[in-house]
Amino acid sequence: MASAKVGFIGLGSMGLGMASSLLRAGFQVQAYDVSQLAMKRFNECGGKITSTAADASKDAAVVVIMVTNSNQVDNVLFGTNGAISGLSNGSVIVLCSTVSPAYVQKLGKSLTGEKNILLVDAPVSGGFARAASGGLTIMPSGASEALEKARPVLSAMSEKLFIVEDGIGAGSKVKMVNQLLAGVHIAAAAEAMVLGARAGINTRILYDIISNAAGSSWVFADRVPQMVNGDYTPHSALNIFVKDLGIVLDEAKSLAFPLPLTAIAHQQFIHGSACGYGEEADAAIVKIWQRTAGVNVVALDEGYSPEQIAHKVITISNTVEHIGFIGLGAMGFGMATQLIKSNYHVCGFDVYEPTLSRFAKEGGLTGRSPAEVAKGAEVLIVMVTNEKQAESALFGDGGAVAALSDGASIVLCSTVSPGFIKELEKRLADERRDLQLVDAPVSGGVVKAASGKLTIMAAGTDEALNRTGAILSALSEKLYIIKGGAGAGSSVKMVNQLLAGVHIASAAEAMAFGARLGLNTQNLFDIISNASGNSWMFGNRVPHMLENDYTPHSAIDIFVKDLGIVLHESRGLKIPLHITAAAHQQFLLSSAAGWGRLDDAAVVKIFEKLTGVNVEAKLPVLPKEETLKSLPPEWHVDPTEEIHRLEDNGVAKTLVVLDDDPTGTQTVHGVTVLTEWSFESLVQQFRKRPSCFFILTNSRALSTEKAILLTKEICTNVKIAAASVENIGYTVVLRGDSTLRGHFPEEADAAASVIGETDAWILCPFFLQGGRYTISDVHYVADGNRLVPAGRTEFAKDAAFGYKASNLREWVEEKTKGRVSATSVASVSIETIRNGGPDAVCQQLSNLQKGSVCVVNAASERDVSVFAAGMIKAEIKGKRFLCRTAASFVSARIGIKPKDAITPRELGIFGKQNGGLIVVGSYVPKTTKQVEELKAQCGHFLKSIEVRVDAIALKSEKEREEEINRTVELADIFLKSRNDTLVITSRELVKGSSASESLAINSKVSSALVEIVRRIQIRPRYLLAKGGITSSDLATKAMGARHAEVVGQALAGVPLWQLGPESRHPGVPYIVFPGNVGGNDALAQVVKNWSPPARPSTRDLLLEAERGGYAVGAFNVYNLEAVSAVVAAAEAEKSPAILQIHPSALKHGGLPLVACCVSAAEHAAVPITVHIDHATDKKELIETLEMGVDSVMVDGSHLPFSENVSYTKYITDMAHVKGMTVEAELGRLSGTEDNITVEEYEAKLTDLTQAEEFLSQTGVDALAVCIGNVHGKYPPTGPNLKLDLLKELHFLASRKGVMLVLHGASGLSEELVKACIDFGVRKFNVNTEVRSAYMNALQTPKKDLIDVMSFARESMQAVVAEKMHIFGSAGKAY
């Protein structure tokens, strides 16, 4: 848009600089101002000047207005020759003036009706110098279309551009808060400088010191030079704040919101205006005090530099070895430990005993009283809370002064009044022991105290300073020596505390007001931190308010005391301090409310308590469905085909995914995972030219140092291996946790140090299956229909990888410890992805500044695919990226589409083999809930073994070994018994006192689980590992896998591997179940899916046979040998089978035989059912129904047809109630079976007409037909089966869903059997041949009964197996 035409109205001190910035950016700027001088200056800068506002607006796409107030805005827009008349349809007005939000909103509505003109509310902050350099902070709000059009213009005028959500007027609300702070800060700066001047401190020196202390602010640094120089040239006039604070107070009044500090500051500006200073610079407010109190803050050059004096003192300072330290509070502890680090011998005392223990651990000596630490000390440092404590420590019982050696020095760092210091110096002189006093108050906070970076304002005699200079230097980053003797340092500190206290109180007032205005307080803080309302205290204390964390680093009662000192001194000096007095009242009120010992930032709680606002910056929990629906429609083209084309053409680079735990494979299939990264293995992979391969690093389980070394090692091998393969390009993806846990930025830094600088780091934690979405740069975790900001979830509280930020830009700043600022992090928005597609993504990535960090927003898998396609295009243009992503990015980048969950049957796992092994080590709350649900749903078949964490991680090696052995023994027993077995660590989370200790405990737990699985001897049917670290260690260490193939997912987001041939159990299905995936029932769902199928009904077997076009053999059994023979054959041939009990066998074996059959069926690895054959007795049949068998044959074939129907229906109804399958016979077979003979004259074929009626009335599931088949042996002439009749019966039965059964299969040729199968027979009864095999086996002499039984079983098994092949059921187990 540069070179486009821009109109500009208002060339004041700010406006002229802003318009000049646009010229430098290449815009054609045509401007208007009522001041001819201003227009002349602009013309000299190269700008075009116009005679009216209308002319300035003519043909301009964007018009910037920068006038003083709303009246002027109305005039330049709607007055004679106003801008409206020159504006084109659809143009944009950028209003930078400070006006009320209500005015902006009203203006926006009126402009919409005027040629559809768009309005951007864009107040600015930064002063005239930054305006001239293009370094302003601008806070625009408005419609997205207006903002998009105005963005190039706004960017050209600003260094920081903060888009404020919530529509037109929101920007002006932020500016109101900024002006509130800036106005109060100016008034406070005036009070502070007047107090310092009256106290005798040179104001220029005072300015230099405060600028580097906690009392500093943007306003102090910018306005106080005007005060000390007496130069009130109006770059920003005093009357501006009369107007701006008036706007603030009017808005507050309409909201019934109290702003006491703002009101007083406003009165000060009104006073200044009334005194005739309204058109002078706003810093002229200080002249009120000059006028009323006769104080002149203009600095006199005293010809000395406090820093130079300090440097000289340090150079000639005495050598000191022994230091006494009294007061090991938040500041004192850091100072004392810093001295230890500086190789001083420090003996400390504090009234709080635990602090002394901590100090001793840091290498300090401790004393039981002030006198004890003072004894032998060359220098005694006192860092207590107030004058009373200082008096007690020095002169009370056991006081230090009496114990000090002659010639010792006392350094008093506490904030006390200058008068107290002067009196103390006099008392020490009266001791006549050459005891020297250094008045050395400090500023900087707890962190700087511990790092030796305090600001210290020291005063005292030359001798006192020379004795202590080196020690003061060890504690400070800035050391100032103040002339004027003891008390001068405390006078400077007094001024500093005045400002610091006011700045905290005004920050509370401002943030609470912002919350009442409906502003996002985190965004408000971010903007103000880069604007003129900022102060050291605002930046340091407001985060406490936003986090609602009032851990006392500096308590409220400290400022009750410190501002009390300030007001006491001001009374003596006859200096009125209105703002300070009001701030003091705020702290007093907070203390009276019971918050005195909380952090001083808790002063904001006054406003929260009285007005009901909440300043805490918790990102809101969003409604999931509504939020996702509110987003723009997805990009209309699925880019997967385009990605495949780029892959096929060899243009796209190979993804090398370093997975910090195995769960990263949860969205891919057909991909190799390496668990080792030798040069040879990597070369082998690159030569295959895959789109992607994984390297399992398990680095999340390592310390940061080890993770860095590991990443460097792997990347080095990858780099060398890739270089040895011709024409191979690669992109490294650091696959990490979708809930932001892991070694970031350390692993990324390590990778970059090897592969070289990239154009950008890509952050894409979106993961649909886990419910992770990134919207407007905020990362969310779905919880039901809620989107919870990630920083508010349990994942953010991780002992090793915790964090606070949910906004990924802020997360980057947090994790990089400020190295990468949030404002420097780029992001690809959902709007860009969905409205612009891959080309727009490519363009944005191509324009990134080298070395950027870029966040990817995504709310669907299509979003990630679009981004991936755009990224590939950018890579084709020569861009290089290093990616830190969740699993979804990988599958999108290589064009993998989701597929249905893998079932055991697809991997060739049938029936009840050994039990499955489930190992749970993850401690996230979701896992615990999932385990509870697993036990609730699967407890009836699941065996559970709890491994005590205290025994394996905290107790002796012997107890650890006993716990491991106990678990292994039980697991082997359960697995061998074909029971699915859960091995789970006890659920109480055991943490260390530090992140490293917590990792060490995790490591011990993980190694114990590895040892347990390694020692288990039974091969499990499948292995499920819950949790990333657990799954990695079990795969590599327990199972010895060097590589695996990802075959798919066991559930959405749950990877399923097959381990390589080198592993302990080659090919075993390995389910990698992440700790944070799925609902509460997800684990139970997977275990149920992978548990042995419930014993099928006989009807199920026959229906499956119907679908597969084969038949199932029903083998008559009489004893254990026959039962085991049938089961063994079925398992060996992977065939279904039916254990069939004839009435004579039932009469002989009774219930034990039935129980044996049922138990064998239940424990078989293939589908087997138990069937009672030829039940003719009604009473016996009813008893049979209660025996637990699966099916029964109701044999009424000997009865007249009508009685057969009645009898069969009666039993069928009873059986169906119990879920049993019923077979019946129509017609009658001749022959002998189990001593039951049917003579030929009694036999009859099945009648078709009767069959239709029989099936309709009885409701049976299977029909045994008579088509010439016989029981027992067929005559020498062979079988004579009526296949035409069979065909007709099949047609009839199939219409009614009834399966056909053929008795008398023994002796049928293979050809006849197959013909019967083709005509619909689905069950063949086999008896004679199996019986014969058994009887023949008994004829063969054997040594022992066991041998006889074994041989008989083997003989029968061979017959059964042969029949299974003939029937076509071999290999058909499911």
Both tokens assigned to 815: 């994790």
**Strands 365-366 and 1137-1141, bridge-based pairing:** unpaired
Residue carrying the six token digits 């009469």: 1147
**CA Rg value for the chain:** 43
Check 493, 943, 1209, 1372 and give the catalytic one. Answer: 493
Both tokens assigned to 569: 């001194």
- Cβ-contact 591, 560 below 8 angstroms: yes
Both tokens assigned to 578: 């209105």
Name, in order, each residue with C-beta under 8 angstroms of 181's C-beta and a sequence gap of 6 or more. 506, 507, 510, 528, 532, 533, 534, 535, 538
The DSSP annotation for 1010-1079 comes to HHHHHH--SPPS-EEEESHHHHHHIIIIIS--SEEEEEEEEETTEEEEEE-TTSSSTT-EEEEE-TT-S-
**Chain center to CA of 546:** 20
- Cβ-contact 1112, 1323 below 8 angstroms: yes
Cβ neighbour number for residue 1311 with a 10 Å cutoff: 9
Backbone phi, then psi, for 351, in 5-degree steps?
A: -70, -15
Both tokens assigned to 307: 């820093």
- Cβ-contact 740, 811 below 8 angstroms: yes
d(CA 282, CA 222): 11
DSSP 797: G
Query: If phi over 0 gives left and psi between -120 and 50 gives alpha, with beta otherwise, what is residue 559?
Result: alpha
**3-class SS of residue 6:** strand
Name, in order, each residue with C-beta under 8 angstroms of 492's C-beta and a sequence gap of 6 or more. 196, 201, 206, 209, 210, 441, 457, 480, 482
CB burial readout 750-769, b (16+ within 10 A) else e: bbbebbeebbbbbbbbbbbb
- Cβ-contact 698, 1029 below 8 angstroms: yes
Q: Please provide the size of the chain in residues.
A: 1374
Taking Cα atoms as reference points, which of 823, 1130, 776, 1155 lies closest to residue 158?
Answer: 823
Q: Computed from CA positions of residues 592, 594, 598, 601, in that sequence, does the dihedral angle turn out positive or negative?
A: negative
Burial category of 1002 from C-beta neighbours within 10 Å (exposed 0-12, middle 13-18, buried 19 and up): buried
Burial category of 1093 from C-beta neighbours within 10 Å (exposed 0-12, middle 13-18, buried 19 and up): middle
d(CA 1099, CA 1101): 5
Both tokens assigned to 1236: 């039951």
DSSP 775: E
Residue 1026: active-site member: no
Burial category of 703 from C-beta neighbours within 10 Å (exposed 0-12, middle 13-18, buried 19 and up): middle
- Cβ-contact 281, 233 below 8 angstroms: yes
DSSP 237: B
- Rounded to the nearest 10°, the torsion over CA 1086, 1091, 1095, 1096 is 40
**Which residues is 885 bridged to in the sheet?**
735, 764
d(CA 1321, CA 1314): 9
d(CA 863, CA 1194): 63
Catalytic (active-site) positions: 493
